[in-house]
Amino acid sequence: MTELLTIRGLTRDFGGFRAVDGVDLDVAQGAIHSVIGPNGAGKSTLFSLITGERRPTAGTVRFDGRDLTGLAPHAVTRAGLAKAFQTTSIFPRLTVGESVCAALAARNAQLRLLRSRTKAGIRAEAETICGALGLAEHIHRAGSALSHGDQRALEVALALATAPRLLLLDEPTAGMSPFETKRVVDQITGLARERGLTVLFSEHDLDTVFSISDEVTVMHQGRVLAHGPAAEVRANDEVMAVYLGSEP
Ligand SMILES: Nc1ncnc2c1ncn2[C@@H]1O[C@H](COP(=O)(O)OP(=O)(O)OP(=O)(O)O)[C@@H](O)[C@H]1O
């Protein structure tokens, strides 16, 4: 299988504390790959090293054969990697449709596609993205008026508007009810399969992880404790001991 993202020896120190410690990670093209681990394992820090929000102390990040190590976030996005939930990225006063159109227009301007795309074309693409995330009925509502689950779906829509090849989702279901969790997870999985998107996500809910992941990487104290196909990781006693020992 072709690897889209290849991480080697990725390390990040905060003062004398090593939050991410020599992580190797391969994400295959088209895979849904999750990173799990107890609180403080280093998942969010790892993601921020991939997106360029933080610079690694050591190690490399390669994406589709290109070295992205230490690049600024906008350069990483331009390379085809988008992360949802890194900030509250929705525009509260714009409607859902306007927000997605703004994100699409920004991407087109960046790629100098503006002249080849009509406003109607952008609106049609925004409608497709909103429809895929269950937001069609909210297209004329302000982002701030949406439920928590719909706001998260909008954040995924904004990330998708950058036309990524790899979508990074940091705890996509945090704070959601079981009903909302199922809806968002089904939509993300459906989108990924339909568009051939590669997804790397961190998640606390193990039922979600094992139901949708092709591959699972388990982190503990900044290191990779285990990785492999979801069924294999689930059957790993050491992994379960870490969870039972440190998770409520
Ligand atoms: N800016 C920082 N300065 C100092 N220490 C930090 C900083 N950011 C994170 N850490 C520490 O690094 C470790 C890893 O944190 P990180 O947020 O990456 O873990 P996590 O696996 O994402 O946790 P959670 O599941 O709770 O979100 C933690 O011990 C945290 O306290």
Q: Supply the residue whose CA is at minimum distance from atom 2 of ligand 1.
A: 14
Ligand 1 in contact with 14 (CB < 6 A)? yes
The ipTM of this complex is 0.96
In a shared domain, residues 105 and 157: yes
Tens of pLDDT, residue by residue over 60-91, are: 999 999 999 999 988 998 899 988 764 556 67
In a shared domain, residues 156 and 192: no
Please give the model's pTM, rounded to 2 decimal places.
0.89
Number of domains in the chain: 2
Are 223 and 43 contacting, i.e. CB atoms less than 8 angstroms apart? no
Query: 41: CA distance to ligand 1 center in Å?
Result: 7
The domain in which residue 108 lies consists of 88-163
Ligand 1 in contact with 35 (CB < 6 A)? no
Q: Supply the residue whose CA is at minimum distance from atom 11 of ligand 1.
A: 19
Ligand 1 in contact with 30 (CB < 6 A)? no
Q: Supply the residue whose CA is at minimum distance from atom 18 of ligand 1.
A: 42
Tens of pLDDT, residue by residue over 132-175, are: 888 999 999 998 888 888 888 888 888 888 888 999 988 888 87
Are 131 and 153 contacting, i.e. CB atoms less than 8 angstroms apart? no
In a shared domain, residues 159 and 177: no
Beta strands at 17-28 and 3-14: parallel, antiparallel or unpaired: antiparallel
